[in-house]
Amino acid sequence: MITYNAPIDDMIFLFEKLRDNKHYNEIKKYNEINSNLARDILGQAAKITENLILPLAKAGDDTPCVLENGVVRTPPGYKKVYEKFIQDGWTSLTCDPKYGGQGIPKTISIFFDEMLSSASLSFKLYSELSVGAYNCIFCHGSDSIKKKFLPKIVEGKWSGTMCLTEPICGTDLGLLKTKAIEQKDGTYKLSGQKIFITSGDHDLTENIIHLVLARTPDAPSGTKGISLFLVPKIQVKEDGSLGSKNKVSTGSIESKMGIKGSATCVLNFDESIGYMIGPKNKGLNSMFTMMNLERIVVGIQGLGISEIAYQNALIYAKERKQGKSNNNKTTNGADLIIDHVDIKRSLLNMKSIIEGERALSFWLAQQIEVSLYHSNNKIKQEATDLVSLMTPVVKSLFTEMGMEITSDAMQIFGGYGYTKDQGIEQLYRDNRITPIYEGINAVQSIDLVFRKLFISNGHVIEQYIESIRKEIKKNQSEIKIKPFAEKLNHYLEILVNFTNWIKTNIKEHKDNVSAACNDYLKVLGLVAIAFSWLKVLEVTYKELKNNKKFFENKIETANFFFNRVLPRIDAYYNSAVSGSKYIMNFKFD
């Protein structure tokens, strides 16, 4: 059976030693958020994820959601644990105290997101979309809408969804057909069908608040004619109490490869009463508040599932005996498989990627907070641009690495890994959605190269590269860190050359650039992880004597990453700059 221990020591290490963003530390409201509070929150988070939520993963896979008489029933145990979950205040963690939230920064909540993803991604999705809906309404809703809907969402009594996709459109939202007709009282009646709606219906909350993209009759075509509407499952009276059922129905729920405990619904809107959120025809801009943060969280899902897959593969490798290792540890019988070089290589590959990703996500969490709350608008904008640059990287790289890691974890289990008894194959199936939803990874790489690289005329990527150069220069005089800094410098120059190659080709040879997008995202992502590792190493060598075992482990793990993972960049770059002729000149029969 699958086990899980939240990696609190690694998380607290990052929170204590790598909170080095000057602008983040200038946000006054977080002055009292110290290491003791972080440790207490993460300790409580570990208890609920390890003891109550982890068992729900198998329960949800064995007994998926069902649609009965128009209502979705969640798997056994979900309702009881969800009641405990909201009673303990986990849905309110990062929300504004004005609406009942706790105001905890993402530098802590991002670790909780990872824990939840490790324990049960299906269960996590019910509250995850609610937080996304909260963020969207908080940023774009009117004061009356916020007052009416946010407190119950923050409390966890009501949940939220994001309704974009239709049978006719997924990535290309400009094709959507759902209509919204304005009424005399200022409300709208929405009609249409939405598909693949995560947590579209369930029995965990009293109400579900749908955020729906639709068109008004006079809207221009394409994405410029999309508006955003809040459509409650049950209508809400002016005093905040529940009224009559709205005309929203669940047509079906999807039978999926994984995350079976999460209800993925087809929703029908039949003149459903809704309220416009944000300006008319600017709905996609409003929804991006929810989507962009959600994409980062999806990356964290990949990280969380990678962590639990690694933990269980390591346990198994320490118990399973098979064959003779090169060093022949036993005189009679077989050696533990962890003594075989390739098994150890596979485990170190997982570990070095996971710890690097966690450090990168913590760096990004600081940037997000600066982009939202810093008092200086110029500093906020620079942080916003960096977050925009790294969002597709974290979403895509973390989830693809998650596929690699869960696959390798299954491989370590051998034939047992392919059976349901061990539970490792479920992690592979659950993670498989992460490179797909919230914008498939191929589209994320296109978004990165064709849009994000040229924010402020390319200033954002130049700024990021310059920050890495400064870190390298700072560490080149440190004898122990110098080899890592020099390796990163080598691959940073490849990133620079790759970026210049894209700038040269993007106007007249767009097929070349399109064919290189995926490789560029991976190169930037690996450089970003190595940059994070360098910052970790800088602290590690200073703190080595305080916790020798912990920090020597860090150094050895970093050595593996810099020597065995980072060189993948060579292959990505060489493949990309070969151009598109070997692709586009091929004729399929």
Which of the residues are catalytic?
438
- Return the closest-CA partner of residue 365 out of 91, 64, 105: 105
Distance CA 353, CA 345 (A): 12
124 in helix, strand or coil?
Answer: helix
Distance CA 148, CA 150 (A): 6
Distance CA 209, CA 157 (A): 11
**DSSP summary character for residue 455:** G
The residue assigned the tokens 């491989």 is: 411
Q: In this structure, what token pair is assigned to residue 176?
A: 């959507």
DSSP 193-227: EEEEEETSS-SSSSEEEEEEEEB-TTPPSGGGG-E
- Which residues, listed in sequence order, are joined to residue 270 by a DSSP beta bridge? 191
Buried b (16+ CB within 10 A) or exposed e, 417-452: beeeebbbbbbbebbbbbbebbbebebbbbbbbeeb
Distance CA 571, CA 228 (A): 43
Residue type, 354: I
- Residue 564: how many CB atoms within 10 A of its CB? 13
- Three-state SS string over 527-565 comes to HHHHHHHHHHHHHHHHHHHHCHHHHHHHHHHHHHHHHHH
- Return the closest-CA partner of residue 229 out of 269, 263, 174: 269
DSSP 253-297: E---SS-TTS-EEEEEEEEEEEEEESSTT-HHHHHHHHHHHHHHH
Sign of CA dihedral 531, 536, 540, 543: positive
Q: In this structure, what token pair is assigned to residue 78?
A: 């979900």
Distance CA 125, CA 117 (A): 9
Distance CA 538, CA 524 (A): 21
Distance CA 370, CA 21 (A): 9
* CA distances, 588 to each of 575, 581, 584 (Å): 21, 14, 10
